[in-house]
Amino acid sequence: MTTNRREMLGAALPLGAVGLVAASGAARAQVASAPRTLFEVPQVTVPVAGSEARFPVRRIYCIGRNYAAHAREMGSDPNREPPFFFQKPTDAIQFVAPGTVGDHPYPSLTKNYHYEVELVAALKSGGRNIPINAALDHVYGYALGLDMTRRDLQRALGDEKKPWEIGKSFDRSAPIGPIHPVETTGHFKEGPISLAVNGTVKQNSDLKNMIWSVAEQISKLSEAFELKAGDIIYSGTPENVGPVVAGDTILCKIQGLPDLSVRIIPPLA
């Protein structure tokens, strides 16, 4: 009798629900009335360093032109204009484990593919209109990330006053290392950040050169969006962004986090 009922429910529900059905009578009743999901869509997660836990990613926010020298090289005034933000889809995440080199396919449509090394803040909670002095209370941890960019498309679309989407928010455009809980690293307010291509240092700065600190970024973002647990923020890149081609290896460093490395491989067929 029980088996029959379980089979019946199992046939009508996604696989993940079957375990719940077996768990208890209460869970069984709850699951039986839950709406059916048409198919499984994976939750994007990033491993947490030193733990079996994974950090579930809700949204990826990125801040633009957050180092004065980079703002200048991109042709804008580095004075404290309000920070601006864009998003990447969560499945743009490409996790790369420390000590490994991730294969990163050169994307379609571009002839000028750029690296941007960035500190990433991961939130455990959020809210609206978060004051700067409370902002860091929402940070779960930090990671090292790359905001990969089809620079030619980003520039062309900007010139045409069209959305950047295709220049910034494409598949695999967000390589990232594991998230390190704040309790193990503290907050990142200063310290070296660098990127090398094939062993030659290209980007080399200090987190203290960010125009808007992580706390200020969270506060400003929360004026525009209700932030929530699972949101991550790519906090901007220093100057000397530049192109890579298939065969190049990128090595990113932030003091206090393990290195992040990817190899650019030929485009996917």
Select the span of 77-85, 141-149, 159-167, 196-204 touching Mn ion (CB under 5 A). Answer: 141-149
User: According to CB under 5 A, which residues from 167 to 196 bind Mn ion?
Assistant: none
Q: What is the nearest approach in angstroms of Mn ion to the Cβ of residue 82? A: 17
Say which residues have a Cβ less than 8 Å from residue 8's Cβ, sequence separation at least 6. Answer: none
Is residue 207 exposed (0-12), middle (13-18) or buried (19+ Cβ within 10 Å)?
A: buried
From 16-24, 121-129, 190-198, 236-244, give the range in contact with Mn ion by CB under 5 A. 236-244
Minimum distance from residue 226 beta carbon to Mn ion (Å)? 23
CB of 195 to Mn ion, least distance (A): 12
Q: Which C-beta is closer to Mn ion: that of 44 or that of 62?
A: 62
Which of 173, 205, 235, 237 touches Mn ion by CB under 5 A? 237
Instruction: Output 31 or 60, the one with its CB closest to Mn ion.
Output: 60
Least Å distance between CB 187 and Mn ion? Answer: 20
CB 78 within 8 A of CB 72: yes
Taking the least distance from each CB to Mn ion, the nearer of 116 and 231 is 116
> Both tokens of residue 264?
């650019």
Q: How big is the chain by its Cα radius of gyration, in Å? A: 21
Determine the Cα–Cα distance for residues 156 and 161; give it in Å rounded to an integer: 9
Scanning residues 95 to 124, which ones bind Mn ion (CB under 5 A)?
116
- Token pair, residue 105, equals 């396919």
Which residue has its beta carbon closest to Mn ion? 147
Residues 106, 147, 193, 194: which binds Mn ion (CB under 5 A)? 147
Q: How far is the CB of 29 from Mn ion (least distance, A)?
A: 48
88-92, long-range: CB < 8 A, 24+ apart: 88/60, 88/62, 88/147, 88/168, 88/169, 88/173, 88/174, 88/234, 89/60, 89/169, 90/44, 90/57, 90/58, 90/59, 90/60, 91/44, 91/171, 92/60, 92/169, 92/170, 92/171, 92/172, 92/173, 92/174
Q: Which is nearer to Mn ion, 219 or 237 (CB)?
A: 237
**Which of 84, 189 has the CB closer to Mn ion?**
84
**Residue 191: CB minimum distance to Mn ion, A:** 18
Q: Which residues of the shown chain bind Mn ion in the complex (CB under 5 A)?
A: 116, 147, 237
